[in-house]
Amino acid sequence: MAATRVITAAAAATQTTSCFLAKRTFLLPAKKSCGGFGGLCFNKRALVLKSKRPFSCSAIYNPQVKVKEEGQPESLDYRVFFLDGSGKKVSPWHDIPLTLGDGVFNFIVEIPKESKAKMEVATDEDFTPIKQDTKKGKLRYYPYNINWNYGLLPQTWEDPSQANSEVEGAFGDNDPVDVVEIGETQRKIGEVLKIKPLAALAMIDEGELDWKIVAISLDDPKAHLVNDVDDVEKHFPGTLTAIRDWFRDYKIPDGKPANRFGLGDKPANKDYALKIIHETNESWAKLVKRSVDAGDLSLF
């Protein structure tokens, strides 16, 4: 039997202007809207597509998101769907807003800390539910527990057609941007947290660029102490090195080579992390506007 639990997604007191694919046909007024993040502006009417799911420049505002589990955990058919207040399925990747303003972002938990089932948003399935990754028909697990909450930034995309000249010319991995949340609390699959970015690691996985944004949930007791990469070293000593080493080495027990890291094998600061978030949000906007080929990716 499917279980349903309610998770309130983080929301700002003011309207967010992150973008998503609307689930119904309508035409927005011709009005320029500028987000608090990066001064990102869009002409709303210009972005509406002539399709059953037109492009809109506002995401779910102050959503009461319900998480519905279908199937049994650690099975091939297990899915975690997201429902809006009316009970309709929505996409955690496309419909949850990215930015809440003032340097605060939404983060969706895929893998709780101290667990090892490799959960991820199914980017090629309708409504992009969270599922357990598979390889050759078998469920995937990390060889050991991950020590931090892990998940994605909604409304971001690492474009596989774009080479990053600052990171060895590596191309994006075709996924949303990953977040490593360093707070003390073990979260739940599908939980939506307000986080602030602190640093970025440029992981190169089999030639693909796979950014790891290091962040902390605003409700963590130490959140007020950390605002940039140096603060992490001060108040969470050894954590950045541990994160890098964990992601570098986790494939070795399966006989694969270690992953590598760009940017001198060091974490970049908060400003650089914000730059990455901004760039990948722009890439996502191009994706959902169909300005680039989506391939097998689901856009709703």
Counting Cα atoms < 13 Å in the Cβ hemisphere of 240 gives 23
| Cβ atoms 153, 176 nearer than 8 A | yes
Taking 3-state DSSP, the helix, strand and coil percentages for the chain, each rounded to the nearest 5, stand at 15, 35, 50
Element (H, E) at 20: strand 20-21
Which residues contact residue 138 at a Cβ distance below 8 angstroms, ignoring those fewer than 6 apart?
none
- Of the candidates 70, 95, 73, 96, the one whose C-alpha atom is nearest the C-alpha of residue 81 is 70
List 78, 142, 150, 272, catalytic entry = 142
Q: For residue 199, what are the β-bridge partners? A: 214
Which residues contact residue 149 at a Cβ distance below 8 angstroms, ignoring those fewer than 6 apart?
109, 111, 112, 113, 180, 181, 183, 185, 186, 187, 193, 217
Please say if 142 is a catalytic residue.
Answer: yes
Distance linking the first and last C-alpha atoms of the chain: 25
Q: What does the alpha-carbon distance between residue 51 and residue 47 come to, in Å, rounded to a whole number?
A: 12
Three-class DSSP labels, 203-269: EEECCEEEEEEEEEECCCCCHHHCCCHHHHHHHCCCHHHHHHHHHHHCCHHHCCCCCEECHHHCCEC
> CA dist 230 to 236, 239, 268, 284, Å?
10, 11, 10, 30
Active-site residues: which are they?
142
